C-alpha cells in the first residue's frame, strides 16, 4: 500500500470507530491531522463527503479552532508559550530573538520549509515559565540562548517529521 | 464487581501497602516530566533493588505534589519528607541515607515549610500520594466508597440535599450553587439527561485542573458518577483540552479501569445504575469553556455561545437537560457525600464554603499548585505560601482570574478569596489563576496583553466583543507607541463598560476587567505613558527606541 493509501485507510478506521457521527467531527479532524500532519483542502472535502456534512460546516469547524493547521508545517516545529506566566517572565524577548535568528515570523514557515514557528496560549507548565517547545520537547525556564541552541541542534538532527 | 467487594479490595490494598515501611512518591506530572521525572523514577526503582531494600520500600509514580518550581519533586512517606530538584545521580544517595541509614538527606529537602502550612488540601487530598494509574490506590484511600454509599443507602434527593447543605459553589468561575443546579436538572422532565465535565482550562497561566486530572483522575470520575445518580443522567462527557496529553492519557486509563471493574457502564456495581463516560477533546478555543459553547463543541460544532435562557439545565446537549460542572467542583463531591454537607460547610467562610485550588505563578519565589480555604487573603497567598517576590523587587499587582480577571494593587492584598469579595474588587475567581507581577512590569502593557488575547479568542458572534475589543487594542497600540491622547483613557473606560454590559457571554462580559481594573488602580501609569511618553518598566515604546 502506498503512503497515501495507508493514511486513507487509517482515516477510514477512525471515522468508522465514531460511526461517522457529526458529533465526533472534532475528534476525526484531530486524528486526521495526526495522520496527515495538517488539514488540506482536499482532506477536508473528503471528510465532509464521508460524514455527509456540508463543506461549509467542516471548514467552519476547522478554521474556528486554533489547534487545526490548514497549511503544511515545516520539518521542525517550534512553539512559544504566550500564556500569562510566560509573558510576564519574558517569553516575548525569546520569541523576537528566535524570529530574528532564523528569519521566520510567528505563524509562518522558513523558505526552506525546515522550521515553523508558532505561538500557543499556555501549555500549562507555568511554574517553569517561560516555556518554549522545540518539536515535542518542553524547554522550561528558557532563555534566548538556550532556545536558539536547542533549535539549531534540532535542525542539525535532520528532518523529524516526514513531509510529502 | 459488587458493592461489598469494593470494601474487600480496599482492605486488601491497605494491607499490601502496609507491608512496606517506606513509600517513595515520585511526581510524574506535566510540571516535573520535562525535567527528567521518569528518569528519576527509574533510578529509584534501580537503587532500591541495588541497595537491597525493595521489600521495605515501595516506589510509586504519582501526580503533582505542588512545588512545581523545584521539580522533579519526590515525597518519602512516612513523615512527608519532600526532596527537591532530584536528579538520577542524587537518587542513590537519597535511598542510602534515608532508607538504609534512616537519616533524611537534609540538604536536599524542600525547606519552605510555609508553602504547605496555610494550605488545606481537600480536592488535592490524594495528589502526590497515590499512583493515578492504579485504581486500587484510589480505592485504598476510600475511593468509590461515596458512590457505593449513594447507591446502597441514599436517594437522589438525599444526595442533592447534602450538596445543598454543603454550600458548594461551582469552581469554574461563576460560583453558581451546585446543589441548586443539580436540583434544576433533576427536576427537568425531558430525557435522556447528560453530564458534561469541564476540563477546558483555557485561561493562560492556569494549570490547576490539569494537575488534578493527572494526580487523581478517579476523584473526577466518582464525582461524575454521584452527580449522574443525583440528577438521573446516563451519559457523561469529559471535555478536555488537547494541549494536555498526559492528563488525557491518565483519564483514558482511569476510564478503562472503571469499565473493567464495573464502576462505569450499563450496570454500575451490579446495582442496575447505568453511566457511560466518554472523553471529548478541545482543539484550542478559549471560549469553549463557556457553558453553552462547550455544548456546541461536544456536539462537534464551532464553540460559539448562545443566549440563555433556555439554560442547559433544561435544554443542553441535543436539546436535553444537561448538567455542566467544572472538574474541581466534581472532585469535591465524594468528600461531601462521605462526610456530610455540614462537615463541608464548616470549611472556608459561611457564604463561601470549602477550598479553592490556584496555580500560583509569575514573579514569585514558590510558584506551584496550591489549595487554600476560602477566605484566605491574597497577602497570605502571595507572601506566606508564595514566599514573596524574588530578587528583592517590589510587589506591584496580582492578576486574579486570567484574562477575564482583574489586576489588584497592594492596597487590596487584604481582600479575602471568595466569589463576592473578588468580584467587588473588580476581579473574578475564574478558574483559579494567580499571577504575581512586580515593579519591572508595566500595567498598560499587561492590560494590552490580555486585550490582545481576548481579541484572538472572541468567537465573533456578538458585536460588542467582536468589534469593540479590536478598537480597544488599537487604543493600547497608540498609547504604547507614544501617540496616545488624554481622552483615550475616557474612551477605554466608556467602551469597557459598554462591552461588559452588552456582550452575549462570559468572555465578552469579563474581557474588559483587566482594562477597567488597571484604569481604576493604576491610572497614573496610563497618564505617564500618554503625557510623559514614559514607561517606567521599559516595556513600551520599544520599536521607537530600536529605530533611534
CA B288 from chain centre, in angstroms, equals 16
CB contact under 8 A, B399 and A27: no
Those residues with Cβ within 8 angstroms of residue B299's Cβ, 6 or more apart along the chain or in another chain:
A22, A23, B317, B318
CB contact under 8 A, B367 and A123: no
Report residue A125: phi and psi, to 5°. -105, 50
Q: What is the residue extent of each domain of chain B?
A: 12-112, 142-345, 355-438, 443-547
Give the per-residue pLDDT at B541. 87
CB contact under 8 A, B31 and A30: no
**pLDDT tens per residue, range A81-102:** 998 889 999 999 999 999 999 9
In this model, does residue A158 exceed pLDDT 80?
A: no
CATH superfamily, domain B12-112, is Glutaredoxin (3.40.30.10)
Residue A160 — pLDDT band, cuts 50, 70, 90?
Answer: low
**Nearest C-alpha neighbor of B227 from the set B297, B152, B281, B147:** B147
Is B34 an 8 Å CB contact of chain A? yes
Is A27 an 8 Å CB contact of chain B? yes
Q: What does the block give as the cell for B80? A: 512527608
Q: What is the residue extent of each domain of chain A?
A: 3-64, 76-156
Distance from CA of A136 to the nearest CA of B (A): 10
Give the per-residue pLDDT at B446. 94
Give the per-residue pLDDT at B112. 84
Instruction: Tell me the pLDDT of chain B (548 aa) as tens digits.
Output: 888 899 999 999 999 999 999 999 999 998 888 888 999 999 999 999 999 999 999 999 999 999 988 889 999 999 999 999 999 999 999 999 999 999 999 999 998 888 999 999 999 999 999 999 999 999 999 999 999 999 999 999 999 999 999 999 999 888 999 999 999 999 999 999 999 999 998 888 889 999 999 999 999 999 999 999 999 999 999 999 998 989 999 999 999 999 999 999 999 999 999 999 999 999 989 999 999 999 999 999 999 999 999 999 999 999 999 999 999 999 999 999 999 999 999 999 999 999 999 999 999 999 999 999 999 999 999 999 999 999 999 999 999 988 889 999 999 999 999 999 999 999 999 888 999 999 999 999 999 999 999 999 999 999 999 999 999 999 999 999 999 999 999 999 999 999 999 999 999 999 999 999 999 999 999 999 999 999 999 889 875 444 44
Those residues with Cβ within 8 angstroms of residue A18's Cβ, 6 or more apart along the chain or in another chain:
A24, A27, A28
| Distance from C-alpha of B484 to C-alpha of A120, rounded to nearest angstrom | 30
CB contact under 8 A, A124 and B201: yes
**Nearest C-alpha neighbor of B88 from the set B50, B116, B47:** B47
In this model, does residue A163 exceed pLDDT 90?
A: no
Q: Which of residues 50-89 of A touch B (CB under 8 A)?
A: 57, 60-61, 64-68, 82-89
Give the per-residue pLDDT at A162. 47
Residues of B in contact with A64 (CB under 8 A): 285, 302-304, 459
CA B346 from chain centre, in angstroms, equals 22
Q: Which of residues 208-227 of B touch A (CB under 8 A)?
A: 210
Is B35 an 8 Å CB contact of chain A? yes
Query: What topology does CATH give the domain B142-345?
Result: Rossmann fold (3.40.50)
Is B187 an 8 Å CB contact of chain A? no
CB contact under 8 A, A126 and B359: yes
| CA closest to A131 among chain B residues | B34
CB contact under 8 A, B367 and A127: yes
Is B205 an 8 Å CB contact of chain A? yes
| CA closest to A60 among chain B residues | B302
CB contact under 8 A, B362 and A84: yes
| Distance from C-alpha of A49 to C-alpha of B204, rounded to nearest angstrom | 36
Is A127 an 8 Å CB contact of chain B? yes
**pLDDT: which is higher, A149 or B542:** A149
CB contact under 8 A, B243 and A122: yes
Give the per-residue pLDDT at A164. 39
Residues of B in contact with A129 (CB under 8 A): 361-362, 367
In this model, does residue A161 exceed pLDDT 60?
A: no
- Beta strands at B74-77 and B57-62: parallel, antiparallel or unpaired: unpaired
Residues of A in contact with B442 (CB under 8 A): none
Give the per-residue pLDDT at B313. 97
Q: Which CATH number fits domain B355-438: 3.60.20.10, 3.30.450.20, 3.10.20.600, 3.90.1010.10?
A: 3.10.20.600
Candidates B283, B398, B437: best to mutate against A (most CBs of A within 10 A) is B283
CB contact under 8 A, A121 and B202: yes
Distance from CA of B212 to the nearest CA of A (A): 12
Q: Tell me if the bond preceding B499 is cis, omega within 30° of 0.
A: no
| Distance from C-alpha of B493 to C-alpha of B526, rounded to nearest angstrom | 12
ipTM of the complex: 0.90
Distance from CA of B207 to the nearest CA of A (A): 5
Give the per-residue pLDDT at B548. 41
CB B184, CB B240: distance < 8 Å:
no
Q: Which CATH number fits domain B443-547: 1.20.1440.230, 3.40.250.10, 3.90.1150.10, 1.10.20.60?
A: 1.20.1440.230
Continuous segment of H or E residues that includes residue A23: none
CB contact under 8 A, B242 and A137: no
Give the per-residue pLDDT at B543. 59
Give the per-residue pLDDT at B31. 85
Nearest by CB to residue B362, choosing from A61, A88, A128, is: A88
How many residues does the structure list for chain B? 548
CB contact under 8 A, B399 and A84: yes
CB contact under 8 A, A85 and B201: no
CA distances from B356 to B29, B325, B370 (A): 20, 15, 8
CA B250 from chain centre, in angstroms, equals 16
Same-fold call for B12-112 versus B355-438: no
Dihedral sign for Cα A54, A56, A57, A63, please. positive
CA distances from B389 to A117, B427, B435 (A): 32, 21, 12
Is A126 an 8 Å CB contact of chain B? yes
Span of A5-14, A42-51, B106-115, B497-506 with lowest mean pLDDT: B106-115
Query: What topology does CATH give the domain A76-156?
Result: Glutaredoxin (3.40.30)
Is A129 an 8 Å CB contact of chain B? yes
Q: What does the block give as the cell for B217? A: 483522575
Residues of B in contact with A22 (CB under 8 A): 299-300
Dihedral sign for Cα B25, B30, B34, B38, please. positive
**Strand-pair partners of B433:** B359
Q: Which residue in the block uniquely carries the three cell numbers 469579595? A: B421
**Nearest C-alpha neighbor of B118 from the set B381, B366, B353:** B381
CB contact under 8 A, B68 and A128: yes
> How many interchain CB pairs under 8 A, A with B?
139
Amino acid at each position: 500500500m502506498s503512503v497515501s493509501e495507508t493514511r486513507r485507510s487509517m482515516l477510514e478506521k477512525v471515522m468508522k470507530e465514531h460511526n461517522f457521527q457529526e458529533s465526533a467531527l472534532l475528534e476525526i479532524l484531530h486524528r486526521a491531522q495526526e495522520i496527515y500532519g495538517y488539514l488540506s483542502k482536499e482532506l477536508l472535502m473528503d471528510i465532509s463527503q464521508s460524514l455527509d456534512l456540508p463543506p461549509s460546516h467542516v471548514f467552519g469547524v476547522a478554521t474556528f479552532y486554533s489547534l487545526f493547521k490548514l497549511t503544511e508545517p515545516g520539518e521542525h516545529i517550534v512553539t512559544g508559550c504566550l500564556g500569562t506566566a510566560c509573558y510576564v517572565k519574558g517569553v516575548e524577548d525569546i520569541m523576537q530573538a528566535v524570529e530574528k535568528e532564523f528569519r521566520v515570523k510567528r505563524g509562518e514557515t522558513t523558505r526552506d520549509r525546515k522550521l515553523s514557528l508558532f505561538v500557543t496560549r499556555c501549555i500549562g507548565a507555568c511554574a517553569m515559565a517561560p516555556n518554549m517547545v522545540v518539536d515535542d520537547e518542553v524547554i522550561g525556564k528558557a532563555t534566548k540562548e538556550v532556545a536558539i541552541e536547542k533549535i539549531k541542534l534540532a535542525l542539525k538532527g535532520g528532518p523529524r517529521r516526514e513531509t510529502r | 464487581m459488587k458493592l461489598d467487594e469494593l470494601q474487600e479490595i480496599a482492605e486488601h490494598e491497605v494491607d499490601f501497602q502496609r507491608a512496606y515501611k517506606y513509600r517513595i512518591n515520585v511526581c510524574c506530572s506535566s510540571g516535573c516530566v520535562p525535567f527528567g521525572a521518569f528518569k528519576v523514577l527509574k533510578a529509584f526503582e534501580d537503587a532500591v533493588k541495588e541497595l537491597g531494600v525493595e521489600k521495605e520500600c515501595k516506589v510509586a509514580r504519582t501526580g503533582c505534589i505542588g512545588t512545581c518550581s523545584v521539580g522533579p519533586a519526590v515525597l518519602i512517606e512516612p513523615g512527608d519528607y519532600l526532596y527537591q530538584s532530584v536528579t538520577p545521580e542524587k537518587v542513590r544517595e537519597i535511598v542510602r541515607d534515608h532508607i538504609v541509614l534512616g537519616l533524611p538527606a537534609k540538604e536536599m529537602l524542600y525547606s519552605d515549610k510555609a508553602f504547605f502550612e496555610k494550605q488545606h488540601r481537600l480536592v488535592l487530598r490524594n495528589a502526590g500520594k497515590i499512583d493515578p494509574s492504579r485504581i486500587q490506590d484510589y480505592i485504598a484511600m476510600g475511593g468509590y466508597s461515596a458512590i457505593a454509599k449513594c447507591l446502597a443507602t441514599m436517594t437522589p434527593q438525599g444526595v442533592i440535599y447534602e450538596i445543598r447543605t454543603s454550600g458548594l459553589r461551582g469552581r469554574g468561575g461563576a460560583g453558581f450553587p451546585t446543589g441548586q443546579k443539580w436540583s434544576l436538572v433533576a427536576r427537568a422532565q425531558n430525557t435522556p439527561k447528560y453530564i458534561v465535565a469541564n476540563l477546558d482550562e483555557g485561561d493562560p497561566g492556569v494549570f490547576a485542573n490539569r494537575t488534578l486530572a493527572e494526580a487523581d483522575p478517579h476523584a473526577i470520575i466518582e464525582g461524575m458518577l454521584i452527580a449522574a445518580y443525583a440528577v438521573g443522567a446516563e451519559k457523561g462527557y469529559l471535555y478536555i483540552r488537547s494541549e494536555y496529553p498526559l492528563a488525557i492519557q491518565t483519564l483514558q486509563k482511569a476510564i478503562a479501569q472503571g469499565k473493567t471493574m464495573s464502576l462505569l457502564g450499563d450496570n454500575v456495581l451490579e446495582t442496575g445504575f447505568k453511566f457511560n463516560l466518554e472523553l471529548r477533546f478541545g482543539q484550542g478555543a478559549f471560549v469553549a469553556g463557556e457553558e453553552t459553547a462547550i455544548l456546541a463543541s461536544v456536539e462537534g460544532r464551532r464553540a460559539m455561545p448562545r443566549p440563555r435562557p433556555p439554560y442547559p439545565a433544561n435544554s443542553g446537549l441535543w436539546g436535553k437537560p444537561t448538567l455542566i460542572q467544572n472538574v474541581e467542583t466534581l472532585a469535591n463531591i465524594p468528600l461531601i457525600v462521605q462526610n456530610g454537607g455540614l462537615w463541608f460547610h464548616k470549611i472556608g467562610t459561611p457564604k463561601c464554603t470549602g477550598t479553592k485550588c490556584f496555580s500560583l505563578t509569575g514573579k514569585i519565589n514558590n510558584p506551584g499548585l496550591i489549595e487554600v480555604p476560602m477566605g484566605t487573603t491574597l497577602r497570605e497567598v502571595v507572601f506566606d505560601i508564595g514566599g514573596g517576590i524574588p530578587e528583592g523587587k517590589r510587589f506591584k499587582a496580582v492578576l486574579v482570574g486570567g484574562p477575564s480577571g482583574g489586576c489588584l494593587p497592594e492596597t487590596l492584598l487584604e481582600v479575602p478569596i471568595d466569589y463576592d469579595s473578588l468580584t467587588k474588587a473588580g476581579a473574578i475567581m475564574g478558574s483559579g489563576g494567580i499571577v504575581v507581577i512586580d515593579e519591572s512590569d508595566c500595567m498598560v502593557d499587561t492590560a494590552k496583553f490580555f486585550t490582545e488575547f481576548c481579541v484572538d479568542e472572541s468567537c465573533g458572534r456578538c458585536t460588542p466583543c467582536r468589534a469593540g475589543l479590536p478598537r480597544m487594542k488599537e487604543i493600547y497600540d497608540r498609547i504604547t507607541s507614544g501617540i496616545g491622547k488624554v481622552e483615550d483613557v475616557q474612551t477605554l473606560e466608556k467602551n469597557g463598560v459598554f462591552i461588559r454590559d452588552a456582550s452575549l457571554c462570559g468572555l465578552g462580559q469579563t474581557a474588559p476587567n483587566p482594562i477597567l481594573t488597571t484604569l481604576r488602580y493604576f491610572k497614573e501609569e496610563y497618564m505617564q505613558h500618554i503625557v510623559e511618553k514614559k514607561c517606567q518598566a521599559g516595556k513600551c515604546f520599544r520599536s521607537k527606541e530600536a529605530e533611534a
